[in-house]
Copies of this chain bind each other. A is one copy, B any other.
Amino acid sequence: MTEQLDDLADLIRDERLRDLRVALDDLNTGDIVNFLERLGVKNRAVTFRLLPKDTAVQVFDQLDQALQHEIVEGLKDTDVAHFFESLDPDDRVRLMDEMPASVARKMLRHLDARERALTNIVLGYATGTIGREMSPEFVAIPEHWTIGQALEKVRLAAMDAETVYTLPVVDGHRLLKGVVSLRELMFTDEDTVVGAIMSEADSVDADHDAEDAARMCADRKHLAMPVTDKEHRLVGIFTVDDAMDILERAESEDAARHGGAEPLNRPYLSTPVLTIMRSRITWLLVLALGATLTVQVLDTYEETLEAVVVLALFVPLLIGTGGNTGNQAATTVTRALALGDVASRDVFRVLWREVRVGLTLGSVLGVLGFLVVSWRWDWDVGAVIGLTLVAICTLAASVGGMMPLLAKKIGADPAVFANPFITTFVDATGLIIYFVIAMAVLGL
């Protein structure tokens, strides 16, 4: 496979496009996507134009938004219009979000009335809500219909609808009454009324947070969930693959922020070095600015340092351990928040747990630190290190556990507060604790 892709890359370099087209025919959609993701902008556009129309639409669907946008930019206007029409309304809206407003408007105008109306429904909801990610093309079954009628409707609609495996059931006012699965329809007698076999609908409000809705869909193992408006009228449906897309984007964002960088939103190897650098520099500067706090603290205690230089030796170890402890707590709580295992109101339960965990961890490390340092240096230096470890670990675990909850409460991203910010905070306060303990124990 790997070699095959390298061969294809050679074909592009040698401009043997006819051969490339033939070679692409042998690949499945997934492989073509992998191949495109590894190419530069220009070669990607060239290769994409060689694909048969049907394959192109499928491949496009699986690419990251940033790459989709670049590809559309490389197509001729007539091609774009045709292509745009073949997308699902929700995918169309996601692509429009990436484009200049003028281009987006022009493309909307090219659509036929029905497609434009569907697209406008999705466009009506705010970014980040599930309304913006749902599909307005669903098959709803009136509750008084028989199963025979319902199956007939499914047969007629099967091509257009986003899914036919989970079917929302509505009353005469489009109010959502329940859901029924195609599986249930298939093994029930044709004359039974749908209302009699439907089950309670696990639906979500269109204004609901998209990530939260996706997590719900995943946790409850639904293939699709109906989306309703405030009056509980059916407005759309979102499927498990929409949910997985949303969760994957959210995980990528969390992972990046956790590592102190902005998400790239595109495959690593196809991202220009300058873009990668820009995704990191702001965070790095903010963190470095935060770290100047440690310079201030050490500057304040410079006389103490001058008197007992040996204290300087343990600075990286102490703040490193504090950072690690805080990081462990923050990661655990952030993940628990993401999975819905913990909520903002659990703040005191979390604090009480983390204080105990931190104290236990600190005691173990503190005793070890005391023994090793006493043996190698002096017992009083050992006592300083031991006590500092206990204090720093307790502080770090508590702060690390609280920060994600605090972030959630003020509407910030919990992942942001994890590693980098906690480290900075714990570094500075940890150093103050260190010198206060040192001055007390050493009698400076």
Contacts and interface: CB of A to CB of B under 8 A. Distances in A.
Interface string A345-361: 11001100100110011
A162 B220 CA distance: 16
A260 B186 contact: no
Contact of A186 (B62, B155, B256, B333): B155
Q: Do most interface residues of chain A lie in helix, strand or loop, or is the interface mixed?
A: helix
A320 B423 contact: yes
A242 to B, nearest CB: 9
A394 to B, nearest CB: 12
A183 B159 CA distance: 8
Contact of A332 (B259, B321, B364): B259
A40 to B, nearest CB: 12
Interface string A2-33: 10000000000000000000000000111001
Interface residues of A, number: 113
Given A219-B30, A276-B353, A365-B288, A335 B255 contact: yes
A306 interface: yes
Given A261-B331, A267-B336, A287 B345 contact: no
A29 B268 contact: no
A315 B317 contact: no
A336 B270 CA distance: 11
Interface of A: 2, 28-30, 33-34, 37, 61-62, 151, 154-156, 158-159, 164-165, 182-183, 186-187, 200, 202, 216, 218-221, 223, 240-241, 244, 248, 251-252, 254-256, 258-261, 264, 267-269, 273-274, 276-277, 280-281, 283-285, 287-288, 291-292, 294-295, 298-299, 302, 305-306, 309-310, 312-317, 319-321, 323-325, 327-328, 330-336, 339-343, 345-346, 349-350, 353, 356-357, 360-361, 364-365, 368, 418-420, 423-424, 427, 431
12 contacts: A218-B248, A240-B241, A256-B331, A261-B332, A269-B336, A283-B324, A284-B325, A284-B361, A287-B321, A288-B320, A294-B316, A320-B424
Given A61-B221, A269-B336, 18 more contacts: A155-B186, A155-B187, A164-B183, A165-B183, A260-B331, A268-B335, A268-B342, A268-B350, A269-B353, A273-B356, A280-B357, A281-B361, A288-B317, A298-B312, A298-B315, A316-B316, A316-B427, A323-B323
